[in-house]
Every structure is written in C-alpha cells, then in structure tokens.
C-alpha cells in the first residue's frame, strides 16, 4: 500500500468516526428543547434554564478536564481568545438567544432561524477565504433548508424581536462549528468544551447577579413521558446529556469532519428533536414532517458526498515527477484559499 493510499484509508476511517460522533452529538443536543420546554412551562425563565444547563455541565466535566489538561495549560492559555469566543457566543449566547426566540415565536420557527447558521458557515468561508461553494454543496444547502421547512412546519406569525433573537442564535451556531474546528488539536475536546462552559456559565451568572438577566426557577414537578416528574430530571438531563456529552462530542466531531460538513450533519438535530418530542412530551410528527426529514438527510448526504469526492486521492506522481506533491483534501468549496488538511488527531479546520 502506497503512502497516498494509506493516507486515504486513514482519512476515510477518520471521516466515518467523525460522522458517528456528530450524529451522537446531534441526538444529545436534540433532547434540550423538550427538557427546557418542560421547565419553562412551570415558570423557569430562559436565562435560568440556560445557566443551570451550562453550570451543571461545567461542574460535571471539571474533574475529567483537569486531568486531561495536565501539561497543556500553556496551550489553553494561548487559545484563551478562541475559547472565550466559543464560551460567550457559541455556548452561552447561542442557547440564550434560542430560548428567547422561543418566547416570541413558535419553537419550529425559532429552530429554523437558528439553523440558518449552517448557511453562515459556508458564507463565512466564501467571504473570508474566497472559496466559492461548489454546485453539490449549494444543492445540499437548498435541500437541507427545504427539508427543515417541511419538518418544522412554521405556522405562527413572525415577531420582529423573535426573528432578531433567532438570527443571533444562528450566528452563535455558526461560531460553534467554526471555533470548534479551529481549536488547538493538542487540546482534548472535553477540555475545550469545559473551558467554554466555564466562561459561559460565569458570564450568565454574572449578568444574573447584577439584574441584567432574569434568573427565575421553581421546584414544581414537570410533565415528561406523560407523567409528572421532579424538576431535577430535566435539569440533570440538560446538563449531562444535552450539554456535557453533546458539546464534547461536537468538538471532537468537528475536528474530524471540518466546520462545513459538521454543520450540515448537525442538521439532524432537528430530526432527533422531533423524535425526542414525540417520546418525551407526546408531540407526534405528521406525514409532511417525515417527508421533510428525508429531504434534510438528502441534503446532508449531498454535502458529505461532495466532501468525500473532493477528498479522493489523486493518482500518484509518475516516475520522473519530482514535484512530490501530496493530494490535499478539499472542502466542498472551489477556488483558491485554505483547504481542509489532516493534522495530528485528524483535525479538520479552516487553516
């Protein structure tokens, strides 16, 4: 097996692993809407839900993160700016904006607005690096957004404040994918997720302490699985599953897949959210939503296929060719500029 073939084989295994991690992360993220809705129905404010979710996740991840951060504190300090942006915008800001959008809009409309962030990722790479999306990627965008409309079936009126909050959430989602892909590959994903959560939790708690963020919670039971359960159940699920697990796997997946592909695979969160809503709060999707789910998956498949095709190895240089050029995987975007390159840990990033 040649070096080129071996590199292609390893790259394929890395993409498969990244896809599995991304799907698991999306499934974990998809639980947040149902658990948060159950809490807010009993009087919790969006700020209290988000703060509790992030704070609990940060506490749970602290022992593991401290162990994995040994010998890497200098790298973490060097990445302080990026980690701070990740914590403020991608963790705290995105969640807070989404739940505030839900206060003004139907949950479906708010979620659709948030997932415009996938388009922002492609536009960012286009504008920042001059890499124009290829036709297959554009087709994936159209299919994914069309499928989202069918899945979410927005029927409520649009509120200006709600739309603004939704667009802020979309920006936070885009920052999550791009920032995750750019973090130092020598920093374990759990360390990055933990550091971002610490920044986000402290910021939200600080805003709440000075009265800038309403933090109101209660001890009333919530309705889940058709039964009344303690409020501890959704809070624990939000912190452990929908935050600690979801963010850690999300960072790891984005390193393997790159920001663009990970953002599109993340669209499956909508499908998981619909499924979880049916199980947890009895919201069964209709036939149109199921069709929309298939369209979303088709869009994800188009982007994934575009990336895999671009990453296919080129023929080895013929004898006498001294260029020694190694094939460089592309990213579903054409034109000159940065490429998705493998590095230690098989990280995909916009270098």
Residue 341 has pLDDT above 60, yes or no: no
To which residue do tokens 């990970």 refer?
262
State how far the Cα of 69 lies from the Cα of 81, in Å rounded to an integer: 17
- Which of the two residues, 289 and 222, has the higher pLDDT score? 222
To the nearest whole number, what is the mean pLDDT of the chain? Answer: 77
Q: What is the pLDDT of residue 162?
A: 83
CA distances from 72 to 69, 79, 208 (A): 5, 11, 32
% of the chain beyond a pLDDT of 70? 79
- Which of the two residues, 340 and 17, has the higher pLDDT score? 17
Residue 204 has pLDDT above 90, yes or no: yes
Residue 14 has pLDDT above 50, yes or no: yes
State how far the Cα of 183 lies from the Cα of 261, in Å rounded to an integer: 17
Residue 280 has pLDDT above 80, yes or no: yes
State how far the Cα of 295 lies from the Cα of 27, in Å rounded to an integer: 18
Residue 128 has pLDDT above 90, yes or no: no
Is the CA virtual torsion 84, 161, 113, 55 positive or negative?
A: positive
Is the CA virtual torsion 292, 100, 79, 26 positive or negative?
A: negative
Per-residue pLDDT tens over the stretch 28-69: 988 888 888 889 889 999 999 999 999 998 999 899 899 999
Residue 322 has pLDDT above 90, yes or no: no
Phi, psi for residue 333 in degrees, rounded to 5: -135, 145
- Specify the range with the lowest mean pLDDT, choosing from 160-164, 258-262, 300-304: 300-304
Residue 264 has pLDDT above 60, yes or no: yes
């Amino acid at each position: 097996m040649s070096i080129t073939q071996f590199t292609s084989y390893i790259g394929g295994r890395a993409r498969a692993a990244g896809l599995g991690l991304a799907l698991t992360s999306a499934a974990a993220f998809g639980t947040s809407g149902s658990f948060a809705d159950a809490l807010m129905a009993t009087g919790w404010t969006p700020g209290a839900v988000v703060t509790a979710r992030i704070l609990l996740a940060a506490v749970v991840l602290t022992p593991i993160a401290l162990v994995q951060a040994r010998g890497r504190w200098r790298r973490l300090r060097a990445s302080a700016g990026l980690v701070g942006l990740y914590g403020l915008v991608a963790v705290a800001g995105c969640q807070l904006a989404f739940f505030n959008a839900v206060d003004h809009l139907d949950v479906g409309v708010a979620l659709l607005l948030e997932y415009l962030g996938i388009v922002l990722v492609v536009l960012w790479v286009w504008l920042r690096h001059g890499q124009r999306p290829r036709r297959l990627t554009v087709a994936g965008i159209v299919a994914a957004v069309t499928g989202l409309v069918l899945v979410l079936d927005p029927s409520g009126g649009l509120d200006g404040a709600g739309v603004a909050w939704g667009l802020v959430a979309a920006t936070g989602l885009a920052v999550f994918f791009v920032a995750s892909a750019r973090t130092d590959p020598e920093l374990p994903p759990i360390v990055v997720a933990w550091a971002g959560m610490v920044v986000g939790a402290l910021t939200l708690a600080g805003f709440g302490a000075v009265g800038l963020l309403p933090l109101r919670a209660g001890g009333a039971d919530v309705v889940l699985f058709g039964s009344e359960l303690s409020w501890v159940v959704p809070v624990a699920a939000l912190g452990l599953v929908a935050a600690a697990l979801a963010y850690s796997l999300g960072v790891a997946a984005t390193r393997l897949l790159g920001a663009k592909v990970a953002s599109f695979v993340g669209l499956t969160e909508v499908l998981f959210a619909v499924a979880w809503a049916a199980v947890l709060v009895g919201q069964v999707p209709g036939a149109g939503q199921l069709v929309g789910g298939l369209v979303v998956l088709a869009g994800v498949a188009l982007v994934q296929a575009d990336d895999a095709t671009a990453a296919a190895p080129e023929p080895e240089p013929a004898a006498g060719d001294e260029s020694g050029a190694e094939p460089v995987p592309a990213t579903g975007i054409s034109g000159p500029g940065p490429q998705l390159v493998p590095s230690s840990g098989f990280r995909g990033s916009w270098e």
